[in-house]
Chain A
Amino acid sequence: MTMTSKPRLMQGNEACVEGAIAAGMRFYAGYPITPSTEIAEIAAERLPKVGGKFIQMEDEIASMGAVIGASLAGLKAMTATSGPGFSLKQENIGFACLTEVPCVVVDVQRGGPSTGQPTLPAQGDVMQARWGTHGDHPIITLSPSYVREVFDMTIRAFNLSEKYRVPCILLMDEVVGHLRERVELPDPASIKIINRKRPDLSKIEYYNPYQDYDGDGIPPMVNFGEGVPYHVTGLIHDITGFPSTKPEVTEYLISRLMRKINDNLDEIIDYEKFYTEDSETVVVSFGSTARSVIRAVKILRREGQKVGMLRLKTIWPFPHKAIQELPPTTKNIIVAEMNFGQLIEVVGASAKGRFNVIGLNKYNGELISPDEVIAKVREVNKNA
């Protein structure tokens, strides 16, 4: 991407709206909640300027419903919230998963459970992002660490959501959402935009909304109001979109929904490795925690400690390969996260006993500092 815009001081939440609009978002429905509120406020101001629509709904359940409705009617749509609101959205997120309606859900994490700590950072929604809604379902979750990355990742969230017809969750946190950094935005013309796949209706005798015409597990989508009436239901359905209780139809649908993600892990998964080539200890982190980890790793490397970092940009589907491909020198993995230990469960499963997996957890409303990462790495390396 070429840089053309003048550098400007921008907040993470603002970068999210700018990224969304650049990606083609033309509909936003939301309900205010700290620390995500600026996203709604900026969307309310920016969207009508580009001919888009903003609506403040009566709650988060309604916001999620409106977003799905708008997306079905052909607009790229987003909502943003934090913990309590993320909980309320879950049923309709599941509806979007099953009915394959593209949409982006931003969760600017704060301390939980319940009302928790509205103004303090946390990363306690990692598992909720994956399993918040009931039943087996596909989902994509991305987590940015920098303001500029919020911009890029919001675009990527829309692109992945449109491409795979799956809700995409942008898992931010209070720090990334409220942080102000100098950013240069790319020339809009240089931004790659992906739109939902459309059927070639001239070649199709009868459009089945859930038929895998192309064999890639992703049915091409017609928007409501385009002259092709069809049915959408949150019940398990066959390729015609109508409810079915047949075991083979059920199994086919659920496995296709999972397959469209699982067959494309290399495209969906993104992560950053830093000094991992010869490292004895690798710190796995994401979101704002990764900022402290990078600083710590730089300092430790100057001391000669063999330490590296794996920063997950895609959290779900989980980048198992990134863990499994760590070099033979790696003995320890430290999972740094602002929660009681969520991602560590998955890292542990991925490590399959090959690595020593240790948690660095903080759940007191404070960030994990570089000093804490440094102390943990020294302790682990000494014991090793």
Chain B
Amino acid sequence: MRKSLEKYYRIDKLPHIWCPGCGHGIITGAVVRAIDNLKLDKDKICIVSGIGCSSRAPGYLNFNTLHTTHGRALAFATGIKLARPDLKVIVLTGDGDCTAIGGNHFIHACRRNIDITTVVFNNSIYGMTSGQYSPMTPLGAYATTAPYGNIDRNFDLCKLAQASGATYVARGTVYHVPQLIKIIEKALQHKGFSVVETLSICPTYFGRKNKLGSPVKMMEMLRDNSITVKAAEKMPREEMVNKIVIGEFFEENAPEYTEEYMKIIQRAQGEE
């Protein structure tokens, strides 16, 4: 780690709980680098998470950090942001945390377009509870609760976010780190609800259950299967199967929730 980045970490809380080869540390590092590149005021940043391996990330980060209940990070974050719109609120969440138990909060946070950046650590599995399928587990994949293969169709999180009203939507992976940092920077600078889905790897459960080999092999799969949004536009449908489309999907300027609420306050006070 670069010396200049140490101030963002709670070094005394290391080593972290993640398994060797886990992708979550890479995403955490990318978030820190994006914050550093943007020179954001450290004291004005608030990082909120739910429950899961991914949601343990804030504990290692030296900001106002809040490790909430499973799936509810966005609800807590909404309270913080509305109470203190001057704070930069970042949510770190897992695919299960965000799209299963927290799915309702996710679509409503998108819809409100509240100025929160959500980074989803998508390892396609429930890591913390040791490998059950999540709403992001691909069709046919194996999990401890899908011993015969998964018949649940998975979400396309970016489409879900966009359809729900998020105003910045992008996808990255733990293989494409420089690009991931750039995307997170853009998400942090965006006014409104921004979503960065990041494909992570869980060698311990998803990897093992699906016989994907070493963490290195899993990283190579991310490398080999990823194509950019631009390339995907030109690609025939049949070739798109099993491809991971990465890059920016959507960006729009729309009224931001806490700013709209300030107008409500002005209106209410003007009436008196």
Interface residues of chain A, those whose CB is within 8 Å of chain B, are: 26-27, 29, 45, 48-49, 51, 53, 55, 57-59, 61-75, 77, 91-92, 95, 224-227, 229-235, 242-243
Contact = CB atoms under 8 A, between A and B. Distances in A.
B63 interface: yes
B261 interface: yes
Contact of A65 (B62, B64, B75, B272): B75
Given A49-B271, A49-B272, A57-B108, 7 more contacts: A49-B268, A49-B269, A95-B69, A225-B43, A230-B64, A231-B67, A243-B59
Interface string B64-96: 111111001011111111111011000000000
A48 B48 contact: no
A51 B267 CA distance: 11
A344 B67 CA distance: 39
A224 B46 CA distance: 8
A70 B63 CA distance: 17
B76 A225 contact: no
B110 to A, nearest CB: 11
User: Taking each of A64, A68, A77, A243, which has the highest tally of chain B beta carbons within 10 Å of its own beta carbon?
Assistant: A68
Interface of B: 10, 13, 42-44, 46, 48, 58-59, 62-69, 72, 74-84, 86-87, 104-105, 108, 261, 264-265, 267-269, 271-272
Contacts of A92: 69, 72
Given A66-B76, A69-B77, A58 B66 contact: no
Closest 4 CB pairs of A and B: A69-B79, A65-B75, A66-B79, A48-B268
Given A58-B104, A231-B58, A231-B59, A66 B75 contact: yes
Contact of B69 (A26, A65, A230): A65
Given A48-B265, A230-B64, A73 B72 contact: no
Nearest to B272: A49
A371 B103 CA distance: 52
Contact of A61 (B43, B59, B72): B72
B65 A73 contact: no
Nearest to B111: A58
Nearest to A91: B69
Nearest to A49: B268
User: Taking each of A72, A74, A227, which has the highest tally of chain B beta carbons within 10 Å of its own beta carbon?
Assistant: A72
Given A62-B105, A224-B87, A230-B64, A53 B82 contact: yes
A51 B83 CA distance: 11
Given A27-B82, A73-B80, A51 B69 contact: no
Contacts of B65: 229-232
A150 to B, nearest CB: 24
User: Taking each of A26, A53, A72, A231, which has the highest tally of chain B beta carbons within 10 Å of its own beta carbon?
Assistant: A231
Given A55-B78, A67-B79, A232-B67, A62 B72 contact: yes
Contacts of A63: 75
A73 B68 contact: no
20 contacts: A48-B265, A55-B79, A55-B82, A57-B75, A58-B104, A58-B105, A65-B75, A65-B79, A66-B75, A66-B78, A68-B76, A68-B79, A70-B83, A72-B76, A73-B80, A75-B83, A225-B44, A230-B65, A231-B65, A242-B59
Contact of B66 (A48, A232, A242): A232
A63 B46 CA distance: 19
Contacts of A77: 79, 83
Contacts of B43: 225-227, 229
Nearest to B48: A69
Contacts of A67: 79
A292 to B, nearest CB: 39
Contacts of A53: 82-83, 261
